[in-house]
C-alpha cells in the first residue's frame, strides 16, 4: 500500500524567502507524484507532477519539485515566497498501473509573512 | 482541463436527514471521484464513479451510507444518508481520464455541517 508523509503541518516564511515543503512517499514501486494547492474555499489545483520523465519538475507560479528515489522524496520549493502563495499544499501519489486513484498526504498550511 | 461545479456549495443539516450533492463537468470525462475532507485533515477517497456501472467504494465507505449516481459522462451525485455530526466535512468531486499519470481536476467542494 502507498502512503505519503508531509512533514510540518504548518510552515511560516517571510515574503521573499525560500519555500520548502517536504513530501516523502512509501511505495513498493516508484509512484507518480503530484503537488496540489488549495486556496481558501476553493478546490484543489495542480501545481506540478512527476510521471517518470525528468526528475526535476517545474510547475506553475514558480514552484518546482525534485524526485529523489534514493530518499523517497518529492519536496516542493520556490525560491522567493509571495503573499499570494499562502494556501494549503497537498502531496499525492498514484500507483503505476493503478488507475487514476490518488492517495493524499495530510497537507501543509503555508503562511507568508511580511 | 475541466471546469467542475458543485451544488450546494454549503449546507447545514439536521441529524438523521440526507443530503444529495451534485457534480457537473463542462466536458465528458471517464472517471469521477468523490472525496471527503474532514476538518483539519487530508482528502480521503470515498468512491470512484464510472458511467454505466456501479461505483467502487474504498475501505470504510459503504453504498448504503454514500449512494452515488453517474447517469452520464458529465454528471454525478453523492448522497450522504442518515447524517450524524461526524459527517460534517467538505465533500469534493474530481474528474480524470483514468491513467495513473493523469491530472485530477477538482470541484470547489461542498461544505456540510450536521447539527
List pLDDT tens digits, range A24-70: 999 878 789 999 999 988 889 999 999 987 899 999 999 999 999 99
Measured CA to CA in angstroms, residue A109 lies from A54, B37, B40 at distances of 27, 15, 10
Chain B residues within an 8 Å CB radius of A32? 100-101
Using the Cβ of B59 and the Cβ atoms of chain A, whether some distance falls under 8 Å is answered with no
Q: Count CB atoms within 10 A of the CB of residue A59.
A: 17
Average pLDDT over residues A98-114: 91
The confidence band for B52, taking pLDDT boundaries of 50, 70 and 90, is confident
What pLDDT is recorded for position B50? 84
pLDDT at A100: 80
CB within 8 Å: B4 and A46: no
Residues of A in contact with B4 (CB under 8 A): 43
- For the beta carbon of residue B56, count every other beta carbon within 10 angstroms: 15
The pLDDT value recorded for residue B110 is 96
Identify the pLDDT of residue B108.
Answer: 94
Q: What percent of chain A has pLDDT over 70?
A: 100
Give the mean model confidence (pLDDT) for residues B57-66.
96
Banded pLDDT at A71 (limits 50, 70, 90): very high
Q: What is the pLDDT of residue A28?
A: 77
> What percentage of chain B exceeds 90 in pLDDT?
80
Instruction: Tell me which of B40 and B80 has the higher pLDDT.
Output: B80
Contact indicator for A47, A63 with CB cutoff of 8 Å = yes
Which residues 35-74 in chain A show a CB within 8 A of chain B?
36, 41-46, 49, 51
The mean per-residue pLDDT over the stretch B62-73 comes to 95
Chain A CB within 8 Å of residue B31 CB:
yes
pLDDT (average), residues B1-5:
91
Give percent above pLDDT 90 in chain A.
78
Q: Judge whether A98 and A32 are in contact, CB under 8 Å.
A: no
Residue A107 pLDDT exceeds 80? yes
Q: Does B26 contact A at CB distance below 8 Å?
A: no
Chain A, chain B: beta-carbon pairs less than 8 Å apart = 64
- The string of pLDDT tens digits covering residues B16-48 is 999 999 999 999 988 899 999 998 888 999 999
Burial of A35 (0-12, 13-18, 19+ CB in 10 A): buried
Cβ within 8 Å, pair A100-B33: yes
Amino acid at each position: 500500500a502507498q502512503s505519503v508523509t508531509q512533514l510540518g503541518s504548518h510552515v511560516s516564511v517571510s515574503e521573499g524567502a525560500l519555500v520548502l515543503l517536504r513530501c516523502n512517499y512509501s511505495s513498493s514501486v516508484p509512484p507518480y507524484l503530484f503537488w496540489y494547492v488549495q486556496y481558501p474555499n476553493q478546490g484543489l489545483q495542480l501545481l506540478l507532477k512527476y510521471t517518470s520523465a525528468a526528475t526535476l519538475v517545474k510547475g506553475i507560479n514558480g514552484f518546482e519539485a525534485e524526485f529523489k528515489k534514493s530518499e523517497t522524496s518529492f519536496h516542493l520549493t520556490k525560491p522567493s515566497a509571495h503573499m499570494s502563495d499562502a494556501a494549503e499544499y497537498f502531496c499525492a501519489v498514484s500507483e503505476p498501473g493503478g488507475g487514476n486513484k490518488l492517495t493524499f498526504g495530510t497537507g501543509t498550511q503555508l503562511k507568508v509573512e511580511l | 482541463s475541466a471546469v467542475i461545479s458543485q451544488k450546494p456549495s454549503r449546507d447545514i443539516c439536521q441529524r438523521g436527514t440526507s443530503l444529495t450533492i451534485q457534480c457537473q463537468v463542462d466536458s465528458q470525462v471517464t472517471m469521477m471521484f468523490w472525496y471527503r475532507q474532514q476538518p483539519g485533515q487530508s482528502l480521503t477517497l470515498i468512491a470512484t464513479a464510472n458511467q454505466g456501472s456501479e461505483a467502487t467504494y474504498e475501505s470504510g465507505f459503504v453504498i448504503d451510507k454514500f449512494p452515488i449516481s453517474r447517469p452520464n459522462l458529465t454528471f454525478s451525485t453523492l448522497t450522504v444518508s442518515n447524517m450524524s455530526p461526524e459527517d460534517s466535512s467538505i465533500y469534493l468531486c474530481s474528474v480524470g481520464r483514468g491513467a495513473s499519470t493523469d491530472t485530477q481536476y477538482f470541484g470547489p467542494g461542498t461544505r456540510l455541517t450536521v447539527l
